[in-house]
Structure 1
Amino acid sequence: MKQVDGGARHCLSGPTMKIIKSMLIATATASVTAMGGGALAAGKPTIALVHGAFCDSHSWDAVAGALKADGYKVININLPGRPGAEGSLKDATLDGYRQTVLAALKDEKAPVVLVGHSFAGITISNVGEAAPEKIKTLVYVAALLPKDGDSLDKLAHEDPDAKIGPILKPDVANGIMGIDKAASVDVFLNDGPVQLRSVFPNLVIDEPLAPLATPVHLTAARFGKVDKAYIRTSKDLVISPYLQSAMLAATPVRLTQTIETGHLGMLTDPKGLAKAVEKAAQ
């Protein structure tokens, strides 16, 4: 992982954070001013956001702002091994991810809408299996939609159209999955604006290796009964439209929507993604 002043650099830090916030968050939350504030609306469910691989919870900041502007309570969850979160990269586990999400939801009195991006599709499915009573809807955003026994590693081998494989740099000795940060721009942000593409290598962080290969255990009696929705990304080069279609054929969901973005719709179209999440939450 890239080091800055002896510490791990997170997704949106220092000058990079200012650039991204000025580009995205201000745009996504502009409606707060027009509304006179983002007061919570009665009857709307809490929405909890879980980030995917190679990033942390800051990846959701612009979407979180748009949801809050529309009156939703938002919980933005940082998984273990990320800067500011508990634990080290090499000690992170899939069970630890599940427990972190459950801990974030423990004080919620009503079922929540749990949204997962990318690899977090595995994480939110694991939570749905463990505590289906806590979940109103699982929302998968360009995410892995697993069957029992699936892992990221297994599903990645079922995606012939994905372009991420050649740029991955596994470091087994240290329990880390690295990535070619310069090459990641064209894979993750193929639809991104020039300014965002120029700073994106500074946003990427290394990923704990073990959870990526850990199978998730799911049952029809628990995970199978949880309401699910999927938000597809039509230009995705990480989890391709081919794999998205295959996963949806194997595990049908109540609602499918499509946004016209690459893998990181929360950065390139945060307002559009927020609207899709809100529709799934209804």
Structure 2
Amino acid sequence: MDVSKQKSAHIVLVHGACQGSWCWYKLKPRLEAAGHYVTALDMSASGINPRRLDDVRTFAEYTRPLLEFMDSIPQNEKVVLVGHSLGGLNISLAMEKHPEKISVAVFVCALLPDTKHGPSYVLDQYVERTPPEEWLDAKLLPIGTLEDPLTSMSFGPKYVSDKLYQLCSPQDVALANALMRPSSLFIEDLSNKSPFSDEGFGSVRRVYVVCTQDMAIPVSFQRWQIENCEVDEVKELENADHMPMISTPQELCQCLLEIVKKYS
């Protein structure tokens, strides 16, 4: 597909758990060089966001930077939302609240909810289908109270190198280990939330990008999610691990340019 003459779009990049806007450092300039305006956000207690995880008790609070950004967009403008990994749930919340401001939502080896179950359903399924030994040195630790439960999640060096960044350079693995912060899946909070609506989340066009070498969210689970929640299109990156913006940035860039040209 010829993407050289497409109109400029505003692309919003949303990272996954424990990551930050820094993880898009190879992709963002490529999209900008193609003529698009790109915003990469840090969720609460992520990247250089000043909040601490202990002070972020709900998924909505975690997503606040994205929700405030969406609030700031004029009603007559639309953006392309790109969510990676847990970021799929962040953009889903934005889709629910501001469907009229989104031309297309792109889920990159991401969690993809539906409108039949609560938003924690895909997380519950993921945890249930992941044997304990697959977590390697990742840690899930309770940091809340009985009245206000919260579980933190952090990735150890082995999980980073073997599950997330296995096709990335040693330099990028070192960068990730230096910059990642503890996060949470916010399952306790999301388990109490109602399903997303057909009128909100369900009304936004959705594209899923399958990363075939992903060891963190396996292809089988990515495809199960696609079967569970209908999408408008499925694209594949053949040689991408869980971090395609780092392991295969040019291929992901081309994929996103094709999506933008078709949907925005």
Equivalent in 222, 225, 242 of residue 200 of structure 2: 222
Structure 1 residues 163, 73: CA separation in 2 closer, same or farther (over 3 Å shift)? farther
Aligned residue type for 1:68: E
How much has 1:197 moved relative to structure 2?
3.6
Aligned residue type for 2:163: V
Q: Which residue of 2 aligns with 1:238?
A: 216
Equivalent in 56, 77, 80 of residue 20 of structure 2: 56
Question: 1:98-113 to 2 correspondence within 5 Å?
Answer: 98-105=63-70, 106-108=72-74, 109-113=76-80
Aligned residue type for 1:193: S
Matched, 1:79 2:58: no
Structure 1 residues 163, 130: CA separation in 2 closer, same or farther (over 3 Å shift)? farther
Question: 1:247-266 to 2 correspondence within 5 Å?
Answer: 247-259=225-237, 260-266=239-245
* Cα deviation 1:177-221 (Å, max 9, x = unaligned): 222224421111122234434554324321135367624530112
- Give, in whole Å, the separation in 1 of the partners of 2:236 and 2:172: 22
Structure 1 residues 202, 177: CA separation in 2 closer, same or farther (over 3 Å shift)? same
TM-score (norm 1): 0.78
Question: 1:205-216 to 2 correspondence within 5 Å?
Answer: 205-208=181-184, 210=186, 214-215=190-191
Root-mean-square deviation (Å): 2.5
C-alpha contact 2:12 2:79 (8 A) present in aligned 1: yes
Partner SS state of residue 100, structure 1: helix
- Give, in whole Å, the separation in 2 of the partners of 1:132 and 1:163: 39
Matched, 1:149 2:118: yes
Structure 1 residues 72, 163: CA separation in 2 closer, same or farther (over 3 Å shift)? farther
Q: Percent identity?
A: 24
Partner SS state of residue 25, structure 2: helix
Question: 1:19-34 to 2 correspondence within 5 Å?
Answer: none
Question: 1:40-189 to 2 correspondence within 5 Å?
Answer: 43-92=7-56, 93-105=58-70, 106-108=72-74, 109-147=76-114, 148-151=117-120, 153-160=123-130, 164-173=134-143, 175=150, 176-189=152-165
Partner SS state of residue 157, structure 1: helix
- Give, in whole Å, the separation in 2 of the partners of 1:73 and 1:163: 42
Q: Which residue of 2 aligns with 1:23?
A: none
* Cα deviation 1:50-85 (Å, max 9, x = unaligned): 010111110012111100000000111111112431
Partner SS state of residue 95, structure 1: helix
C-alpha contact 1:50 1:116 (8 A) present in aligned 2: yes
Partner SS state of residue 214, structure 2: coil
- Give, in whole Å, the separation in 2 of the partners of 1:122 and 1:163: 25
* Cα deviation 1:228-268 (Å, max 9, x = unaligned): 00111001011110011000011121121111211001111
Number of residue pairs aligned between Structure 1 and Structure 2: 243
Aligned residue type for 1:136: S
- Give, in whole Å, the separation in 1 of the partners of 2:78 and 2:188: 27
Aligned residue type for 1:172: P
Aligned residue type for 1:51: H
TM-score (norm 2): 0.83
Unmatched runs of 5 consecutive residues or more in structure 1: 1-34, 36-40
How much has 1:114 moved relative to structure 2?
0.4
How much has 1:87 moved relative to structure 2?
2.1
Partner SS state of residue 237, structure 1: coil
C-alpha contact 1:159 1:242 (8 A) present in aligned 2: no
Q: Which residue of 2 aligns with 1:273?
A: 252
Structure 1 residues 118, 243: CA separation in 2 closer, same or farther (over 3 Å shift)? same
Structure 1 residues 162, 142: CA separation in 2 closer, same or farther (over 3 Å shift)? farther
Aligned residue type for 2:52: S
